[in-house]
Each structure stands twice: as C-alpha cells, then as structure tokens.
Structure 1
Amino acid sequence: MSVYRLLAVRYLFQRWDRAVLIISSIALGVATLVSARILNQCFEIAAQGTTTPAGSAELYVTNGEAGVARALADELRAAKVPGVKSVQPLVVERVSLPDLDGRVAVLVGAEVSSQLLTDNNSLKVKVTPVGDIPKWQLLPVLAAVKDGDLTRAGDLWDRIPARLAMVSRSIYEDWNGRCQTALAAGQPAPPFVVRHANRDAVCLPIGVVDFEADSPLAPMGKSFIGMSVGQALGVVRPAPPYAAVGGAAGAGAAESPYPPKVNRIDLFLEPGADPETVLAAAAQVVGRRAEVRTPDAQRRSTQEIVTGIQVGVLMCSLGAMIIGLFLVYNAMSVTVAERRADIGVLRSIGATRTQIVVLFSAASAALGFVGAVLGVPLGMLLAELTVRQFRSELESMFLNPEVRLTHLSWATAAAAVAAGTGTAVFAALVPALQAAGDDPAHVVRRSTGSVKGIWNVLHRSACLSLIVTGAAMILLRFNLPSRVGSVGGLTLVLVGLLLASPILVAVMVRLARPVVRATAPFTLRLAFDNLSRAPGRTGVVIGALGAGVALMFQTAGVGRSNEEPILSWIEQVVQADHFVFNGNMTSANSSNSPMSANVAGDLKGLPGVEDVMSIRYFRPEYNGTVVYLVALDVKTYAGTMRHRAPELASDLEVFPELDDTHPDHSGANKVLVSHNFVERHKVKVGDTILVPGPRGPVPLVIVGAVRDYSWSRGTIFLDRARYAKLFGDNLIDICHVFVKPGATAGAEPALDRYAADKGLFVTDRFSLRKFLSELLNRVYVLAYMQQLLVGVVAALGVVTALLISVLQRKRELGLLLAVGATPGQVLLSVLAEAFLMGAFGTVLGVLIGLPMEWYVLKVMFVDESGFNLDMLIPWKATLGIASASITLATLAGLLPAWRAIQTRIPDAMQYE
C-alpha cells in the first residue's frame, strides 16, 4: 500500500490537471445518465397520472378516455363476482378555480363514504372536518356507513343539495385566506367555485385532505378536490336541461345520447383472491362494453405514450457515457506513456503484471468514483433546468398540473456512481494490460515500442463484431422486442465505428497527405506528419469529436426534415382568423380543458363573424397504443377552407362524406385517417376499425386518408355531431373563428369581450402559428442541450490527446527549439494539430451523420410513427456545427501548446 500511495496518490497531485480531465469526463457522462433517469421517471409518472390517476385497485374496468357507463358498476355489484371485495366507480377530471386566479386542480369523484371516511382506507388519506358542515344532512350517510351499507351511503350523499367538497390543504388555505381578507374588509366571503367546460359550480368545502407519502393521490397533493361520484358528475357532465324539465320522459331521453359515465371502475379484491381468475369472471359481466385490466397492463398502455421521448433522452445520455469511456481510455494512455520508466523499474525489481494492472485500475477507480459522485448532483441540476424550460407545456399536457421531478433514490444514485466508476476502470484496463505486458528493458529505456499484433487483431475483430451485430439487429428488428433492434442495433454500430476511428483516421490521413504536403505551410505540415505517425493515439479523440458532430448533424437534419413539412402543413391548416379555447395554447389541442358546445353558437352570433368551426380532441386506444381522434364540424371545415387553402383541395373533397346529411352518406360511421395511421397500423381505405366507446367498441369505416402531423401514432377524423352521439360527449376544445372580409376591426373587440366574460382565451392566426413553430424548435433545443455535453467531453479528449503528443514529442520539440524554432512556431504547431483533429473529426462526423439521419428518418420514424419524411440536408446548421467543432478543438489545444513551449531544451535532449 505504501508503494501504491507513493506511485498513485503522489502522481495524481503532480498531474492534477490530468486527474481533473478524467473526473470531468466521468462527471458529465454520469450527469447525463442521472438527468435522463429523472426526466424519464417524471414523464412516466405524469403520463400514468393522466391515464390511471389515483390508482390503487387490483383490477381496472376501463375504456381509456371514452369512459365507462356508471350503470356497469351496479351490474358488477349485482353479479357478486367471486373474489371482489369492493366495486368503486371513479370520476377524474381537470378543473379550474376561477376565484383563485384560475388555479388548475384535479377533481376526483369517488364513493367518498367508503374511500375517504373509513379508517385505513385504500387511498391512505386523512380528512379533517372544516367549516360549516351540514351535519343533519350527513347523519343518514354516517348511519349507512356504520351499518356497512356503502352503496346506500353513496346514494344518500349524492342527494345532498349542497355540493360538498374535500380539498387539499394548499387549496383550502388559499381560499380561506381570501375569505378572511374579504370579511376583514366588510365584504362577503367569496364562494368556492369550481369551473369545468366554462360552467361554474358553487361548492362547500367540508374537509381538508392530507395524504400519506405512499398514497395513490399523493402526486395531487396540492391540487386535489374530492367529491362523491354523483356530485362530481353534476359538475363535469351535467344532464341536459330537458332531463330536468321533462320528468321521467326527459330523464329517459337523456340516458340514450348522454348516459352517465365515469372515467373507470376500480375493483378491490378479497385477500388471497387470484387476480387472473377474478379478471376472467369480471370480463364475463363486462362483455364488450369495456376492458378489465391488471395494473401492469394499464401501465403498459400508458408507457407507450412516453417511450419515444424516453428513448431519445436515454440515447443522448448513453452517447455521452460511451464517449466519456473512450476519452478516459485516452487519458489513462497519457498516464501509461508518462510512467513507462516507473513501470519498467517496478517490473525490474519484481513487481508482477497483476500488481501493475491493479495500480492503474485502482487509480482510475478512485478518479471515476469522484467524477461519478460529482455527476449525480450535476445530473439533478440538468433535469431541473430541462423541466423549467418546458414546465408550462408539461403542466398543460397532463391531467395533473403538478409536474414535479422525482426524488433521486439512493439505489439509483448508487447505480449511477457504480456505472461511472465501472466505466473508468473498464477504460483503464487496456492501457494497464499493455503497460503490464511491455518488456521491462524497453520501458526503462523509454523506447516507444510498437503495438503488439494481438492487440491489432483484437481491435479489428471487436470493431467488426460490433458493426456486424448491430447491422444484423437492425435487419431483424421486427423479430426482436420493441425498439431493441432499431435502437440497440444503431448503438452497437456507432460504438463499433467509434472504436474503429483510429483505422478510419489512418485512411483519411493517407488520402489527405499529398494535398497537405503540397499546399500547407511548415507548421501545419509538421502537425500533419505528427498526426499521421500516431493515428492510434489521436483516432479515438477524432472519433469522439466525430460522434459529437454526427449526433448534432443528425439532430439538425432530422429537425429540418421535420420542421419544413410540418410548418408548411401548419400554414395550410391554421387558416382561421382567431382561435378561442380554455386554458392556454398548449392545452388547446388536448382534451384537458374543454368548453361547452354553446360557445360555438355564441361566437357565430357575434358581429363580423362569418363562421365557426368547433373541434373536440379524443385519445382512444387502438392496436395497443393511444391514437388521436379529431372530431370537427366537417361541413364548416370544408366550406371555409376551400377558398382559403386551395392546396388542400384533394383532402377537402373527402371531408363532406363524413357528414350525416351528405347525399353519399350510407349511415355508417365514416372516418378519415392520416397517412401515418395507414402506415403504422397497416390499414387501408374500406377497412373497419374498432375504438373503445362508453357502451363498447365503436366501428369506424375508413373512407380516405389525408396528410396530417398531429400525432405520432396516427389520427382519425370524424364529424363532431356523430362523435357526440357515439361517445356521449358534446364538449369542445377549440373554436376556429372565421371573420367576414373587411370586418376584422369590428369582430376583434366583440371576441375579446366575450372571451373575458366567459373566462376563455382568444388568439390570432399569427400568434398560434408562431407558438407552434417555437414549440417545435424548443424540442430540438432540448436535444442540442444534451449533445452539447457530448461536445464538451470530446473537447476534454482533445486536451488529453495533445498532452500525449507533447509528451511523446518532447525530444522533437526540444530539437526544434535548439535549431532555432521560435516558441511561437512550436505553439502554432501544436495548435495546428488540434485544428487538424477538429477538421478530421468534423469530416468524420458528417460522413457518419448522413447515414444516421437517413436511418432515423427512413427506418426509426417510419417504424415508430409511420411518417415517411423527405431527407433534407441542414446546410446552414452543418456550417455552424463544423465551425464550432473546429474552434472548440483548436481552443482545447491551448493548454498542451503552452506546456510545449515551456519545455527546457536540456531536459528535452536528455529525455531518452
């Protein structure tokens, strides 16, 4: 140990800059892994909270966003399915609180008597009574709970005239504070108002809900509002007016088009009951009206929504880690090169090869451990910065507005530290084995020796194996688990190319040698000759630079290939003069913030308005994934767009066929689908597809395909009137307002007044197009942010490679200074080598980036989304990336260049 301390610890202090480079490389690689892990967990939890919020049951009866008829819960209870302890219908909807600055909350309607008022309830919550509770109205409810008749307790609760709510402590304190302020000012206390679909419902908070840490409702801790099922339905899905005035006949009429439906039904099982057996029995009762799922099956359908994002984030982090591995290898090569004499002395006095390997591996492990520990908090910071960048969009996309980063567990942090340390040790093994295998006589004389043949054979075999295996995985990707072939194969090919970079660099140097010798100045020729003498030393770093350039080139190319057709499509389809919606521009194209259908009629009656097209968005499950259903007023769409977007003429011709009143309509549920829906789900015109509805599968007949980029899993277009009948949903999400020619000045004030009165938002065509364009660009900015770390890691590799160059050329540099070369010429020679490394890395990156862009667009995009986009070369971005790469590499050579001109001639001459 004393020898190790002398040779390892003391060396680290003497070469602290080298140690910093290794630590930095590992820290950045670990940081990208940690941030990817945190972000992926954040996306997964947010998506899970949207599709299965408050989930703690053993089985779920669900139709996704379509909902389930509430009467099905009564049928399941009446069937007394063996093993089912409790049947609980659940309503979960996004609402806003207009008197609390429009704060967004999640309304959960449950059979409160059983899930909130009982001790040891399954939701793991505690309710503290507050305010003026109507105790005389609750007495029958409490008596039914005491008798164990929970169904009757729920029915009694629903009949209480006041809408009783239990709210999270954060909401209650905010509302109560405003009440106290108003009372102190001699004003009446404001009511507690819940708004859904621009309808206001006055509620009475009677309890504050606190959640245990492991409660399924804990993610909603600051935005929870709880009600009984019936009262929650009265807020989010009130019965049509004729049901209230028509008595039994009106109620019966209301049942047909708009039956009461809940988001899902939870089944809680008896202890020891077999979930699969209960699932089969419950499915017999449910039939085709819904699907009975286990939590794992429900999670799988949810996971599909965010897997694409997760794979992209993870690939960027793995890229940084892999490049970091090669650069740590390069840094350890510097250490071996500097300490050849020490190794020779140790071997001469009896040190074994194992001891030499342990010496370098232990030093690398220590540096890797420090870097990994530093990378954990850096990764948490990167994740926080990313979420801040997209917080408003994320809060609007998901049901629960509280999109919070997950806490990094000790297990995940330990795994990240182990990965960083292991990477450092693995990267040090090859230099350590080479050092241990050298002849002591050679290393004592400081002769460079040559790479043994066995290492050449192993190197070439490893490169070829990785590339061939990766290519085979890509070709056989449809026979492998999802994304294993496409993503895993690409990763193996890239690692193989990176490992083969010394071979590729040697070929590039050989091709460029005649031109450089004929045209370049002395300092550049000197740098080129040194580069050509040691392609193995510089090849890894040039490969790392090339990998960074390739990733950025591919991202820029894919971005341009996406951006141009999508922006062109947006220019065509976003033709209305104004857009009215609830929430913000991000939530306008989701079903999270709906409006009443009456809004469209009101807008059409405003002065200066020519026509209004209303749209409802719906996300049903089809073919194991979530697709997009756009229900729009097809007659209005075709009529208003015909003269505004003539380039859409071929698509507009088929839209009127979806209207029930069209002469060619056969009475079937006709739909149009997007081109990528056809490609991804392998359907064709004339096929009938089934999507879940509140009463069971809804058959839809495909009558045409149109161009659309709304959703990566495919889009279905349906007439909104027919959608309302099929799915029992008459809400809308956005109104496209078309203004009469020359009437803009009169229409805008009327629109603004109406939106302000209803608590809605209005924007114009230019603002919406600009928002969508900026949102698209910001997605690729996120990718560039992650790849910037790859560039920084690669720049650190340039420093280490040039330090090796200066070390191995110590005698040569001393001779140059001795025969009259100025320090400036020596400095320029080292900087020229850094410049050449940057130039070769850029060329290599572009050569790799071109097929990568093709692969992502023509293979991964087609497999994942069905979009078959034209491949566009990002010429402007390529010039910027090339300039940044070469500049970064040249600047990275400053430190080694400065070290070179500090060389003393006598020391350099006696180095051998």
Structure 2
Amino acid sequence: MNSLLGRLCFKSLRYQPKLLILLMTSIAIGVSLIVGMDIAIQSSNLAFERTTSSLTGKATHQIIGSGQGVSDQVYFEIRKITQNIAPVMKEDVYVVGFGKIPFKLLGVDPFAEAPFRDYFDSQYAKESISIEALLTRKNAVVLSNTLANRFGVRQGSSLSVVVGGRPFQLFVASTIEPRDKINDRFLQDVIVADISVAKELSNRFDTLDQIDVLVDRDDQETLDKIQNVLPKGVQVVLSANRTRTIREMTKAFETNLFALSLLALLVGLFLVWSAMSFSVIRRKSEFSLLRCMGLTSKQIFLMIAFQALLVGLGGALVGVLFGAFMGKFLVLSVSQTMSDLFFVTHVRQASWTFATVLKGITFGVLGSLLAMLLPALEVARIRPREGLSLKTIEVTQYGRIISKCLLVSVFVLLLSAGLLIGQPKSLMASLVAALGVILAFSAIIPLAAWIVVRMLSCIKKLTVLEFAAWRLLHALPRTAIPMAALMVSLATVIGITGMVESFRETVVSWLDQRLVGDVYITVPNQGPSRAPAVLDEKVIAFLKSSSEVSRLEYLRSISVETNLGPSQLVAFENNSFKNPKAFLQSIVPPKEVWKKVLGGDIMISEPLAFRWGIKKAGEAIDLLTPKGWRSFKIAAIYYDYASSQGVIGMSLSNYQELFSDMRVNAVAAILKNSTRSSDISTNSLERLKSIQVLDIKPNRDIRSEVMEIFSRTFSITQSLKWLAVFVAFVGIMSSLLSQTIENIREYGLLRAIGFRRGEISLQIFCESLLMSLIAWVVSVPLGVMLTYIMVYIINYRAFGWTLQMHLDKTLFLHTLLLTILAATLSSIYPSWKTLQLRPMEMLKLDQ
C-alpha cells in the first residue's frame, strides 16, 4: 500500500506539470531571495575579513595612538623589550583609471615582517620577492599577480596613483604568485611597500599608524613592560577587538535584509497555500475515490504531505540555484551599500557555503509543509460521497470563519504590542512584531470581505458585483489566502515606500540645516571607514587670500579611542549647530549649546548615543588624547544622518589645543556672491588642483551625491517590494482558476440559459476585482502601520536614527491603480480557460 501511495504521489505531480511549476516557483522565489541575500552578505563580509587579515596578519595586539598615530621613537623603545614587533603604515590609494575604488597601501619593514605576514617568506610564493629592488628603487611596491593583471602592469612597470590628493608614480619592483588561492585572495586589494615609501606617499615622516605585537596570551609581563614605556595618548589593544567592533556595526543592516527576504518568502508561502488548495480542488474526486477504495484519512493526509515535501525540496533546490545566480548581482549592491555606510569592500566573486544551501533548503521544505497543512487537513476530512462533486467544500460556514479569524487577529495584535513594549531595544523583537501585525491584518480579510458584500447588497443596481461578492464570501476558505497575499504585498509597497520617503524628507531637511557653505573642498573619496586625507597648507592659504571668498569653515576628522570603544571625532566650526532643530536633547537651551562646546564640552550624534546606550545629555565619556585620558561632558545629543556608526563633535579650537594638530580634512567656503558658486567651482578654484587633487563641489552637488548614495542604499529594498507584488498577482490568478473549476457547472448553466461569453468574462473579472479591492482596503491601514513601525521603531533600533514620518497621499492612489491592473491581468487566463469549454462540457464535468 505504501508503494502504491508513493506511485500515486509521483504520477499526480507528473500529470499536472503546470501546477507543479506553479508550486515549485512559489517556493523557489522565496528561497532564492534568502540564498541570494545570504551569499551577498557573506561575500561582502569575507572580502572585509580577507583585507583585514592581510593587514593585521598574525598580530595578537596593536599599539595605537589617538588620531595622531604612534611616534617612531615609541617603536624603538619597545624594540628593546621584545623583537616580535613590526611597524605598520596604512593609506588609501586610488589607481588612475580605476575611478573611485580605493586600494590599501600597506607599508611594512621587510626585516621585521616574518612573525606577522608571510609576504617575504620563500614558502609563501612560488618565486621570492626582490627585496633589493623594493628597498633601492624609488616608490617601489609589490603586487600580487592577480592585482598586477587587473592593473595591466608587470614587474618593472610603473603605476599611476593618487594618495592623499597628490599624484605619484609607483615602480612595480616585484609581483607575488601565492602558492594557494586563499593567500592570493588576501592580496587582491593590497599594495605592499617598504615603510619609508609609505611614509613619503602619506606625507607622515615621524609617525606610524600602528605597531603590531606578537605575544602569548599568558605573557602579561611583556605587555606590562610595553605599557609602562608608552607615552600618554598611546595604548595596547587586542587586534581582534577592533575588527569585531566594525563587524558588529553591520549586524543590524544584515538583519534587515534577512527580514525582507523572509517577507518575500512569506508572500510565496501564501501562494503555495493557494496553489495547494487549487490542487486539492482539482483532485477532490480522486481523493474521494481513494477513500471509497479503503484509504484512511491519515493515508490521504500523508500522501499530500509527501507531495508537499517533494515540491518543497524541488522548489528549494531550484531556489538555491537561482539564489546563487541572483547572489552575483545582489553582492554588488550589498557591497556598495556596506562601502557607503560601514567599511570599504572589494567583492569580485560571490562566495557561499554549505550552510547557505542548507538554510535555503530548510526554509523551502518547512515552508512547503506548513503551507500544505490546512488544505491537507481539509481534504482528509472529506467524506467519500462529498468529494465526488466539484461543489465547494465549505459554502455556508463563513460566519464561523470570520469569528475565528477575528479572535486570532486580536490575539496576535496584542501579542505583538506586548513584544514591542516588553523588548524596547531588541531589533529582532520589532521585526517579529511587524510580522505579527501583518498576520493579524491577514486574519481580518474574511471580515473585510463580509463588510464589502453587505455594502454591495444595499446597492440594487450592481447585480453582477453583488453576485460575485456572494460567491467570494461562500468560497472564503479558497479566496482569503490569495487576498491576504495581495494585501501583504500592497502593504509592503506602502510601508517600504513610506519609510524610504520619510527617510528622504528627513535627510533633505537635515541637509538644509547643515550645509551652510556655498562650495566644499575635500580630498576625493573619503568614506565611512577610511582615514580622511588632509588638505595641503597651500590650498588653505589660497582660499584665505581669494577675493571671492567671504569666510571659511574648517573640519577635521580623526579616529579616537574612548572608554566605550573606538569612534570618529569630528572637529568643526559650523553655524548650523546654532539652530535649535539640530538637537535631540541638551543640558542647556539649544541656542546656548555651542557656547558650552566652545567652553570644552562635546556633543555626540544620535546614532552614537544609541550604540553606546547614552540615554541623556549631561553624561561624561573619556577620550584618549596626546595628553592622556581626558573626561568630557556631553553638552548635547544632535541629529545626524551622515553615519550610522555615530560621531563625537568638538569645536575645532578645542581640538587644536588638545591634539596640537592644525591640519584639516575639508573646508566650506562661504562666497561673497553665492549665485556664482558653480562658476567658482569650475573656474577660479580649478587652480587649486595644480597643488592637490581635490573635490570642489557646490552645495547642490553635495545634495545630489547624498541622494545618490541614498538611492543605492534602498535599491535592494525596492526590488524586493515589486517581487512580492508579482508573487501575489500569481496567487490571485491561481485562486481564480480554483474558483473556476469549483463553479464550472454554474458557468455552464449560465451559458445554457443565454449568458454570452463576454458576460461570463465580466463575472470572472468582477470576482478578481473584488478580491483585489478588498485586499487594497485592508492594505492601506496595514501599510500606514508598517510605515510607522519601520520609521519609528525598526529604523531607530537598527541605526539609532530618529526620522519624521512622511506619507504621500498619491501613494494610495498608485497602489489602487496597481490593484486594478493586477485584477485585470489575473482574470485574463481564467476567463480564457473557461470559455474554451462548451456549455454541455461544463455541465458534464460535475456529473
């Protein structure tokens, strides 16, 4: 008997190829998104880890300074304590012809490198490096063969680069061909040079970026000796801690992407549920015959479950393949977003593991089994005689369905509210609560359908619509699921669009407050994790002497160590902080904050306050300065959307006094004639580029660049949104096909008594339109609620940003038009399928 059931399972799927394709496609879409997103995230993280490993090597500890680096003299002092140390210089390099892609220049001492990095080890590469050429030739560097081929150079060639806004010619002294692919990948983004070359290129002759240290974990005595000789402003830290800090910043971003892919899978499961119900309707008489032959309800249930398992496994495998293909495209978008927001990554190939495949298959199979549960239980309860007719299984129990669904909706809403209140900081709790809200609104679809039917019954002239409405109501077990799928998709469109627009409007308003200059001058391509290059003193002198400039405002940005972890310190002279709207909270009236900052206090951005758990202004944090640890009072917490990592704000005058550093990274020029800002950018200030390679941008170009980064950040979100709509559209169509099969005899009777083909098509279109409109009506309040949750809860818990909710009223009109379009398109195939049959053939189908 078991072998017979197995054969029946395979045969029923083989003889229904269209249904099989629909079921597998539903699962494959959701799985491919999960796998593709996982591949994209893993590839970006792996690229970051490779670059970090190539720079950090085997060092257990690092000696770092606070923003100023470490003096050469410190290195010589520590050398007396232990020989297992190595000086390191790191600088961003832009290769001419490769646009805005930064590569990392690693300056090392070849004679001290052996314990840390294997570049100069004969066992590392197939051919040893020519150390003589590296030390004797001007600006000599070493590249991996892969990177040299990418640049189109070879040993003995020259390479044109820009470092710190200044052009240089590098000499390729040697190329490395590592013995294995893993080591080759470590050097795909790194240019190795002698420490003296790195100092000259970076224009920092007396300092090092860090000193790598290699000591045993239990050798506390050596660490204590090192600590004792360190001057103020320099400390020893674990190498792994710094990498872990950066990686933790991306977790919220990755969680949000995973949640979006799960949302697409949820919509796909709605479709599987609908398709499984469709399959049950088509095969109801087959199951009843099997019951008459002696099969039990349990065997019927297991038979359907086995089919769902096969479909889920097949769909998951197809989804994994599509996900691997999709990951190649998603990885570009994800890595670009990570480079814009967190750290620079170079991803040239998608990387995935067995865990990714296992995750996709698990979600696909479990989702398929979950989706088939109710249809399988429904058909297993059919009595043999009931199933021999194509009449709907449940036609009069909609009242009970509505009451049960309403109770479920209220319960899930209360549970979601309790989760948000009980876990006020958890991002995962907010995502689960959002899912709960979606399920709760899905459960009120039957009630919405009943209300619409009652309203239409009061309008006597709409006979066709009223007839279609009653048919939908009587077929709620079949129609509720595709309506819920479309409703979730439309709500997703409203919610995501509302969140993106809220973000956009908030950022535009913030830019209006912060961009006080007419022209901004910086060294090109300074990103979130990159050490900003400084402006040449000749550039500052030229700007000061320009008759077209009214005044200048300077900005200095460095990385500093604090008692709460590393952070970015920004010192500035910015009049925008005299605006009361710039502050979330402060210890004095907003207009008085800048006076407190000038007096020695600091400000911190809202994301940093969130990340460090600082709840109110007035608290203090410790900063490591060249003069040692200093405590600073937080005068205010201010709104800032430039970085999700957060920054510390300080007045430039206080910074220069504490750090003895007069250099700046950027200048905002306020012109005497602001209307000529574009002319200034392209004419007068062009002469500055003979001194240093600069980005000279008018105010409006800065806004455009910010909006471009903004659009890239949400490109994945927009794609997933429309994919969910497509899946829901297929769900509506499959539901209409299911209803068409159930009601085929009624259509035959209507044709027999004189209904024309067009009137039958109109009837099917009205059913599709009503299903879509009911879904739209429920999607509007759900979309508004999702927008609220994403703007005020999820976004804040993920990144610490306070946004202002903005919903364009035309969005609801657009989704209504989208709904009507979906109704029209989804009714075409069922109408065509029905009209292929003659009236007598329709009547015989229910015999």
TM range (shorter): 0.7 to 0.9
Q: Give the deviation of 1:370 after TM superposition.
A: 3.1
1:337 equivalent in alignment to 2:281:
yes
Answer yes or no: is the 8 Å Cα contact 1:289–1:697 preserved in 2. no
Alignment partner, residue 144 of structure 2: 168
Q: Structure 1 residue 615: deviation in Å? A: 2.1
Q: Secondary structure at the match of 1:758?
A: coil
In structure 2, the residue matched to 1:31 is 32
The corresponding residue for 2:55 is 54
Cα distance change on mapping 1:647 and 1:429 into 2, 3 Å: closer
> What is aligned with 1:580?
521
| Higher deviation after alignment, 846-855 or 678-687 | 678-687
SS in 1 for 2:634: strand
State how far apart, in whole Å, the 2-side matches of 1:677 and 1:100 are.
34
Task: Report how far residue 443 of structure 1 moved.
Answer: 2.1
SS of the residue aligned with 1:893?
A: helix
Aligned to 1:545: 486
Q: CA deviation at 1:319?
A: 0.4
2:88 corresponds to 1:90 = yes
Q: For the residues of structure 2 that align with 1:602 and 1:648, how far apart are their CA atoms?
A: 32
Name which of 596, 602, 607 aligns with 1:671. 602
Partner Cα separation in structure 2 for residue 394 and residue 626 of structure 1? 19
Deviations 1:688-739 (A, max 9, x none): 2224557764533333444433233443222335435645765543322222
Asked if 1:474 corresponds to 2:420, the answer is yes
Which residue of structure 2 lines up, in the alignment, with residue 711 of structure 1?
643
Instruction: Identify the residue that residue 208 of structure 1 maps to in structure 2.
Output: 175
Match of 2:813 among 874, 879, 883: 879
| Map of 1:247 onto structure 2 | none
From 511, 521, 538, the equivalent of 2:451 is 511
Whether contact under 8 Å (2:427, 2:797) holds in the other structure is no
- Matched-pair contact (CA < 8 Å) for 2:610–2:800: yes
Distance 1:694 1:380 in 2: 50
Shift of 1:87: 3.4
Q: 1:608 aligns with which of 548, 553, 559?
A: 548
The match for 2:471 among 514, 530, 533 is 530
2:432 & 2:691 partners in 1: Cα distance?
54
The Cα shift of 1:604 comes to 2.8
- Partner SS for 1:290: strand
Counterpart for residue 251 of structure 1: none
Do the aligned partners of 1:62 and 1:263 also contact (CA within 8 Å) in 2?
yes
- Note the C-alpha offset of 1:108: 1.2
Q: Is 1:629 matched up with 2:569?
A: yes
What residue identity is the alignment partner of 1:126? A
> Quick one: distance in 2 between partners of 1:646 and 1:349?
81
Match of 1:868 among 778, 802, 825: 802
Q: Distance in 2 between matches of 1:621 and 1:378?
A: 45
Tell me the equivalent position of 1:197: 164
The structural deviation recorded for 1:26 is 1.1
Q: Is the 8 A contact 2:420 2:433 kept in 1?
A: yes
Which letter maps to 2:421?
Answer: L
In structure 1, C-alpha distance between the alignment counterparts of 2:745 and 2:780, rounded to whole Å: 36
SS in 1 for 2:55: coil
Q: Find the counterpart in structure 1 of residue 353 from structure 2.
A: 409
Contact 1:38 1:406 in 2 (8 A): yes
Distance 1:434 1:697 in 2: 70
1:505-904 equivalences in 2 (<5 Å):
505-519=445-459, 521-584=462-525, 587=527, 591-618=531-558, 620=560, 628-632=568-572, 634=573, 637-638=574-575, 654-655=593-594, 658-659=597-598, 665=599, 668=600, 670-674=601-605, 677=608, 681-692=613-624, 697-723=629-655, 726=658, 731-741=663-673, 745=679, 748-755=682-689, 758-904=692-838
Q: Is the 8 A contact 1:43 1:306 kept in 2?
A: no
TM-score (norm 2): 0.86
Distance 1:265 1:212 in 2: 25
| Deviation for aligned residue 1:107 | 0.8
Q: Tell me how far apart the structure 2 counterparts of residues 678 and 99 of structure 1 sit (CA, whole Å).
A: 40
TM-score (normalised: structure 1)? 0.80
> Aligned-pair distance for 1:835?
1.1
1:234-286 per-position Cα deviation (integer Å, ceiling 9, x unaligned) = 432523xxxxxxxxxxxxxxxxxxx72424635364xxx66999989988987
What are the equivalent positions in structure 2 for 1:437-476 lying under 5 Å apart?
437-445=381-389, 448-450=392-394, 467-476=413-422
- Contact kept, 8 Å, 2:51 with 2:187, in 1: the verdict is no
Quick one: which amino acid aligns to residue 720 of structure 1? L
Matched residue SS, 1:700:
strand
Equivalents in 1 of 2:645, 2:721: separation in Å? Answer: 27
Distance 1:344 1:747 in 2: 80
Q: Contact 1:90–1:266 at 8 Å: present in 2 too?
A: no
Question: Quick one: structure 1 residues 544 and 449, their matched pair in 2 at CA, closer, same or farther if it must change by over 3 Å?
Answer: closer
1:357 to 1:591, Cα distance in 2 relative to 1, 3 A: same
Query: Aligned pair 1:349/2:315, yes or no?
Result: no
Task: List gaps (5 residues or longer) in structure 1.
Answer: 139-156, 181-188, 240-258, 660-664
Change (3 A) 1:709 1:342: same
CA contact (8 A) 1:576 1:737 kept: yes
Q: Which moved more, 1:7-16 or 1:761-770?
A: 7-16
Q: Is residue 2:199 matched to residue 1:233?
A: yes
Matches of 1:473 and 1:766, distance apart in 2: 43
Count how many residue pairs are aligned between Structure 1 and Structure 2.
831
Specify whether residues 751 and 355 from structure 1 end up closer, same or farther in structure 2 by C-alpha distance, changes over 3 A only.
same
CA distance in 1, matches of 2:97, 2:737: 65
Q: 1:560 to 1:76 in 2, by over 3 A?
A: same
Instruction: Calculate percent identity across the aligned residue pairs.
Output: 21
Is 2:217 the partner of 1:218?
no
Note closer, same or farther for the CA distance 1:209–1:571 as it changes in structure 2 (3 Å cut).
Answer: same
Against the structure 1 CA distance between its residues 17 and 853, is the aligned structure 2 distance closer, same or farther, given a 3 Å change threshold? same
Show the 5 A alignment for 1:62-73.
66=67, 69=70
Of 195, 198, 212, 1:265 maps to 212
1:60 and 1:267 in contact (8 A); partners too:
yes
Structure 2 vs 1, CA of residues 346 and 731 (structure 1 numbering), >3 Å: closer, same or farther?
farther
Of 303, 323, 326, the residue aligned with 2:267 is 323
Of 367, 370, 375, 1:423 maps to 367
- Does the CA contact (< 8 Å) of 2:275 and 2:734 recur in 1? yes
Distance 1:678 1:902, change over 3 A: same
Higher mean alpha-carbon deviation, 488-497 vs 334-343, is at 488-497
Partner Cα separation in structure 1 for residue 582 and residue 403 of structure 2: 60
Task: Check conservation: 1:334, 1:803, Cα contact below 8 A.
Answer: yes
- AA partner of residue 227 (structure 1): A
Q: Is the 8 A contact 1:305 1:625 kept in 2?
A: no
Q: What is the RMSD of the two structures over their aligned residues, measured on CA atoms?
A: 4.2
Give the Cα–Cα distance (whole angstroms) in 1 for the partners of residues 412 and 745 of structure 2: 39
Measure the CA separation in 2 of the matches of 1:627 and 1:333: 55
In 2, distance between residues paired with 1:93 and 1:533? Answer: 70
| Offset of residue 799 of structure 1 | 1.4
Counterpart of 1:165, as a letter, is V
The question of whether the paired residues in 1 share the 8 Å contact of 2:337 and 2:713 is answered with no
Cα displacement string for residues 171-203 of structure 1 (whole angstroms, at most 9, x for unaligned residues): 5457785999xxxxxxxx8x5565422345665
What is the match of residue 17 of structure 1? 18
